């Protein structure tokens, strides 16, 4: 039940693209296509942005995209906007109805 | 509209107990696994525990196994977390989350638990 590894922070200017990585193991990220990404503004609940590696929930703009290669998943945000500034968390199913999360990445829009 | 509303948090002394509740609405509660996830101050999300839709199956993180008990009352659309032998490491905002096809798709606003003397 070790946490997934995310960079502590990333930054980008408006209009640019940023990618956040999420590294796990073959027991979680690499073993299942159940990786999800959450956006969390200060004091708020996490909001689902991507599920099943690369699917969008209703209402999430397609500027947000997900991918996976081996034990590493990635979230790419293109056309950065000021409102994208938030913490981003990855999550993977880890078998037997358990989940494992990353440590979170703070996105700063310069 | 799916809504999850947690309650029951507060200040508790080390070694003490607390029971959290999460009232669900806007969906068929009895069709979904439900989970508790916590977030320590300035830290990331950590999965705590899950319970099957009928309440017969439960899962726990190693860090809370033997101290925390998850349960549910489908007639009341309510999820619970009984927390015993609390320590400072348990200080966190506790979120309940709905499990949809192995993804935590909806979350409550959270309830703060502070363990301190």
pLDDT at A2: 78
What residues in B contact A51, CB-CB < 8 Å? 103, 105
Low-confidence ranges of chain A (pLDDT < 50): none
Interface check for A102 against chain B (CB to CB < 8 A): the answer is: yes
SS3 A101: strand
Closest CB from A48, A98, A103 relative to B105: A48
Measured from the Cβ of residue B10, the count of other Cβ atoms closer than 10 Å reads 11
pLDDT (tens digit per residue) in B1-47 = 999 999 999 999 999 999 999 999 999 999 999 999 999 999 999 99
């Amino acid at each position: 039940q070790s946490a997934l590894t995310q960079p502590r922070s990333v930054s980008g200017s408006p209009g640019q693209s940023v990618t956040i990585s999420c590294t796990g193991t073959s027991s979680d990220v690499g073993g299942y296509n159940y990786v999800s990404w959450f956006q969390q503004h200060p004091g708020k609940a996490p909001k689902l942005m991507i599920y099943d590696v690369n699917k969008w929930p209703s209402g999430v703009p397609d500027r947000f995209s997900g991918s996976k290669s081996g034990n590493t998943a990635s979230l790419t945000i293109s056309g950065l906007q000021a409102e994208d500034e938030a913490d981003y968390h990855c999550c993977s199913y880890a078998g037997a109805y358990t989940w494992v999360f990353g440590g979170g990445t703070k996105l700063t829009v310069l | 509209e799916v809504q999850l509303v947690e309650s029951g948090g507060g200040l508790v002394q080390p070694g003490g107990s607390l029971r959290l509740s999460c009232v669900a609405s806007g969906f068929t509660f009895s069709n979904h696994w439900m989970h508790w996830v916590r977030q320590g101050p300035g830290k990331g999300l950590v999965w705590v525990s899950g319970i099957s839709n009928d309440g017969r199956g439960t899962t726990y993180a190693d860090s809370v196994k033997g101290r925390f008990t998850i349960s549910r009352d489908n007639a009341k659309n309510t999820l619970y977390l009984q927390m015993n032998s609390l320590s400072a490491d348990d200080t966190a905002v506790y979120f309940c989350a709905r499990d949809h096809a192995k993804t935590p798709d909806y979350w409550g606003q959270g309830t703060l638990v502070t363990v301190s003397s």
